């Protein structure tokens, strides 16, 4: 029904409706402009800073995925290829072999391979890793710290609020730009010599 | 007590010193990697493997989400307003459930995006992805023009509940009004917690995301199961009695440019659509009743004008009383509390939080200063939250007291989800009985 001159009440109601609609529209637009200043065109992803990580083991249990999207990542460039690996063997292991009772990893996710005397290569079988961080703790305590926990971005669901970040006691989790999604520790001298 | 102690510490002058110390610790951490055992020089020609760093889902797909959202909103608005087709809306909602629900696993969604936008407004260091802004803004704009078509066919949460509402029952209007306050409280709390950088509670207590992922905690499965089972009898329980985004959509939809109507032309008062709405969102005509006395209306208005400010102040005061409880969830406040009361935790093993604090080398006073800052934010925030909830109570009471007179059956623009179920009940629609007058 078209509003007419003889029906002022309808006109007033229509006018008010229009005015409110326009102000709500401007409000939404204003909010968008205000927020848009702080936007990035791409995505952010969750990542944990190994320098802050205390290997509490909550990455394994807090993730919405089972097993967790946090896995042990091996930075080979930092590894000392030790025979007595602090990340592979339980403390106090006598015979250094691949027997299950010697291994620190609860899921047998670390593979030990002989390279040449006396060096061994350690690699992570990612599907088996649950992200408990036991090996990371061992490696940082006794070794070079080449085993590090990282959110594997191909597995991570990228939840709006990461549930591990909520439970992380040391605040190691943060949103990072998707273009540079890993925060691996590197040896400083190593990178310098490469340049 | 805790509050006062923290205030005192905050006032100390050493704040700059703490910042300098923090910068020092951070710069120290960069040289964290200690090469205890040098890298061997291999003689057997061993090639060191690369550390694989698989990349995240590509940004192109995030753009596709936004395109699909815009397309689905446009399609469903057209289906609701122009085609008036329940079947079309139903099929779109099934598609949205499959795409935004099961394929995109319910993240990022418009409901959760409230918190991203809030955090972006309050935290200068937070950068908000473009997808989150668009998911927040687009449905609001579509609602302003076409009513809550987003709820009808785009929101995966609405779609999954719509699928199970087999035997919807009428809800008592008083109960409906009381339960209707919960989304306002939820919205207020979500904004408070997001603004203080504490947590995203909408995402945390999101019942359906666990179903979309086929993985959730036991408690969340129970919550989701309860909602879906009760959803058989109470249609869309989450949308009506929990959804915080629904609050915004409800208020914007009241001023929408276009909105679905039950009848395409004139209502013939046949009462066929009376029971068609599963959400009790159809306003009945009130022709039979006598308009009330002018003096009574004025008395009611005076009562409302007195009650609303009272509710606002009462709510704000109650909120401010609760600010320490509310802030207890915040990690910084919790750590400060644990460090302040070491005796209480003496017989227990050291918590990971305290262990992490000790290894970080952060000065104790910085922890207290941060906690006191958060507490002050919560004090202001809970005053505003309390006032807001008081205002909501006042407005709901006012709307219950005052009656508006209607002559036709029409959808309540705020509560209607634009699902177009009622359209099928209108005989004017079916038989083209446009000429018949009541």
What ipTM does the predicted assembly reach? Answer: 0.84
Tokens describing residue B2: 């805790």
Alpha carbon distance B153, A114 (integer Å): 59
Residue keyed to tokens 């402009």: A33
Tokens describing residue A127: 């599907």
Q: Note whether B80 and B219 are same-domain residues.
A: yes
In-domain check, residue B131 = yes
Chain A CB contacts of B250 under 8 Å are none
Please indicate whether, in this complex, the C-beta atoms of B56 and A170 are within 8 angstroms of each other.
no
What residue spans define the domains of chain A?
Answer: 8-39, 44-189
Taking a C-beta distance cutoff of 8 angstroms, is the pair B36, A80 a contact? Answer: yes
Q: How far is B395 from chain A (nearest CA, A)?
A: 18
Please indicate whether, in this complex, the C-beta atoms of B255 and A20 are within 8 angstroms of each other.
yes
Which among B127, B140, B213 has the least Cβ separation from residue A28? B140
Q: Note whether B266 and B337 are same-domain residues.
A: no
Alpha carbon distance A178, B63 (integer Å): 14
- Candidates B274, B246, B71; CA nearest to B158 is B246
Please indicate whether, in this complex, the C-beta atoms of B33 and A144 are within 8 angstroms of each other.
yes
pTM of the model as a whole:
0.86
- By residue range, what is the domain housing residue B390? 294-401
3-state secondary structure B191-244: HHHHHCCCCCHHHHCCCCHHHHHCCCCHHHHHHHHHHHHHHHHCCCHHHHHCCH
Q: Note whether B178 and B280 are same-domain residues.
A: yes
Q: Give the residue-averaged pLDDT of B270-277.
A: 87
In-domain check, residue B49 = no
Tokens describing residue A69: 């999207």
Please indicate whether, in this complex, the C-beta atoms of A119 and B356 are within 8 angstroms of each other.
no
Q: Note whether B139 and B197 are same-domain residues.
A: yes
Q: Note whether B365 and B419 are same-domain residues.
A: no
Preferred mutation among A151, A160, A163, A186 to probe B, highest tally of B CBs within 10 A: A160
Q: How far is A49 from chain B (nearest CA, A)?
A: 11
- Candidates A53, A59, A29, A16; CA nearest to A166 is A59
Residue B254 sits at the vertex; the CA angle it makes with B253 and B259, to the nearest 5 degrees, is 65
Alpha carbon distance B67, B168 (integer Å): 34
Please indicate whether, in this complex, the C-beta atoms of B46 and A116 are within 8 angstroms of each other.
yes
Q: How far is B8 from chain A (nearest CA, A)?
A: 26
In-domain check, residue B108 = yes
In-domain check, residue B6 = no
Q: Note whether B254 and B302 are same-domain residues.
A: no
In-domain check, residue B372 = yes
Q: Note whether B414 and B396 are same-domain residues.
A: no
Residue B230 confidence class, pLDDT cut points 50, 70, 90: very high
pLDDT tens digits for range A59-83:
999 998 889 999 999 999 889 898 9
Please indicate whether, in this complex, the C-beta atoms of A73 and B51 are within 8 angstroms of each other.
yes
Which among A39, A51, A187 has the least Cβ separation from residue B130? A39
Q: Note whether B266 and B317 are same-domain residues.
A: no
What is the 8-class DSSP label of residue A102?
G
Q: In terms of C-beta density within 10 A (0-12 exposed, 13-18 middle, 19 or more buried), how is residue B395 classed? A: middle
Taking a C-beta distance cutoff of 8 angstroms, is the pair B311, B393 a contact? Answer: yes
Per-chain mean pLDDT for chain B: 85
Tokens describing residue A140: 């940082």
Q: How many domains does chain B have?
A: 2
pLDDT tens digits for range B22-69:
444 444 444 445 578 888 888 888 888 888 888 887 778 888 899 999
Q: Note whether B277 and B352 are same-domain residues.
A: no
Q: What count of other Cβ atoms lies within 10 Å of the Cβ of residue A36?
A: 13
Q: Note whether B228 and B275 are same-domain residues.
A: yes
Q: Note whether B108 and B210 are same-domain residues.
A: yes
DSSP B95-164: HHIIIIIIITTT-S-HHHHHHHHHHHHH-TT--EEHHHHHHHHHHHHHHHHHSSHHHHHT-HHHHHHHHH
List chain A pLDDT tens, one digit each, 195 residues: 444 455 555 678 888 888 999 999 999 999 988 888 777 766 789 999 998 999 999 999 999 888 999 999 999 988 989 899 999 999 888 888 888 889 999 999 999 999 888 899 999 999 999 999 999 999 998 888 899 999 999 999 888 889 999 999 998 999 998 888 899 887 654 444 443
Backbone angles phi, psi at B151, to 5 degrees: -65, -35
Mutual angle of helices B59-78 and B86-96, in 10-degree steps:
170
In-domain check, residue B50 = no
Q: How far is A100 from chain B (nearest CA, A)?
A: 25
Residue B421 sits at the vertex; the CA angle it makes with B417 and B424, to the nearest 5 degrees, is 145
Q: Note whether B424 and B343 are same-domain residues.
A: no
């Amino acid at each position: 029904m078209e509003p007419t001159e003889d029906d002022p009440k309808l006109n007033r109601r229509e006018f008010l409706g229009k005015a409110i609609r326009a102000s709500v529209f401007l409000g939404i637009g204003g909010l968008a402009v205000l927020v848009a200043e702080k936007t990035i065109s791409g995505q952010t992803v969750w990542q944990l800073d190994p320098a802050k990580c205390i290997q509490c083991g909550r990455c394994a249990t807090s993730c919405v995925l089972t097993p967790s999207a946090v896995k042990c990542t091996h930075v080979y460039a930092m590894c000392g290829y030790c025979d007595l690996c602090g990340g592979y063997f339980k403390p106090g292991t006598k015979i250094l072999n691949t027997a299950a009772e010697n291994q620190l990893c609860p899921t047998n996710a670390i593979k030990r391979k002989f390279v040449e005397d006396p060096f061994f290569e350690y690699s992570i079988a990612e599907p088996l890793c649950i992200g408990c961080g036991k090996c990371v703790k061992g490696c940082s305590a006794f070794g070079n710290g080449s085993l590090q926990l990282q959110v594997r971005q191909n597995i991570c669901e990228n939840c709006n609020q990461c549930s591990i970040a909520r439970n992380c006691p040391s605040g190691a989790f943060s949103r990072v730009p998707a273009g540079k999604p890993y925060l691996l520790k590197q040896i400083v001298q190593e990178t310098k010599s490469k340049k | 007590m805790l509050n006062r102690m923290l205030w005192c510490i905050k006032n100390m002058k050493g704040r700059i010193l703490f910042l300098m110390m923090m910068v020092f610790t951070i710069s120290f951490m960069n040289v964290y990697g200690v090469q205890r055992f040098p890298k061997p020089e291999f003689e057997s020609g061993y090639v060191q493997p690369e550390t694989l760093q698989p990349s995240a889902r590509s940004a192109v797909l995030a753009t596709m989400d936004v395109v699909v959202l815009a397309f689905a909103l446009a399609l469903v608005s057209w289906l609701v307003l122009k085609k008036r087709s329940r079947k079309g809306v139903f099929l779109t909602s099934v598609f949205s459930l499959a795409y935004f629900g099961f394929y995109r696993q319910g993240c990022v969604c418009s409901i959760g995006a409230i918190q991203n936008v809030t955090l972006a407004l309050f935290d200068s260091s937070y950068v908000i992805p473009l997808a989150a802004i668009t998911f927040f803004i687009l449905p609001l704009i579509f609602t302003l023009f076409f009513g809550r078509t987003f709820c009808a066919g785009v929101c995966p949460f609405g779609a999954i509940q719509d699928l199970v509402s087999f035997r919807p029952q009428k809800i008592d209007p008083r109960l409906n009004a009381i339960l209707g306050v919960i989304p306002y409280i939820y919205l207020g709390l979500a904004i408070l917690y997001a603004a203080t950088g504490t947590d995203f509670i909408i995402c945390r207590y999101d019942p359906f995301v666990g179903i979309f992922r086929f993985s959730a905690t036991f408690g969340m499965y129970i919550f989701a199961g309860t909602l879906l089972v009760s959803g058989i009898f109470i249609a869309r329980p989450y949308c009506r009695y929990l959804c915080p985004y629904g609050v915004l959509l409800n208020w914007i939809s009241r001023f929408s440019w276009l909105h679905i109507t039950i009848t395409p032309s004139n209502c013939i008062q046949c009462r066929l659509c009376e029971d068609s709405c599963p959400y009790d969102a159809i306003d009945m005509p009130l022709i039979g009743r006598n308009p009330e006395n002018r003096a009574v209306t004025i008395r009611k208005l005076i009562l409302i004008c007195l009650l609303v400010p009272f509710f606002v102040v009462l709510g704000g005061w109650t909120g401010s009383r609760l600010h320490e409880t509310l802030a207890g969830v915040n990690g910084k406040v919790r750590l400060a509390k644990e460090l302040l009361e070491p005796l209480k935790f003496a017989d227990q093993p050291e918590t990971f939080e305290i262990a992490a604090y000790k290894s970080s080398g952060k000065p104790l006073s910085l922890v207290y200063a941060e906690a006191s800052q958060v507490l002050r934010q919560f004090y202001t925030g809970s005053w505003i939250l309390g006032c807001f909830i008081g205002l909501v109570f006042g407005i709901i009471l006012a709307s219950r007291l005052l009656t508006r007179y209607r002559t036709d059956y029409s959808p309540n623009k705020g509560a209607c989800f634009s699902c177009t179920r009622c359209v099928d009940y209108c005989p004017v629609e079916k038989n083209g009985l446009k000429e018949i007058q009541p």
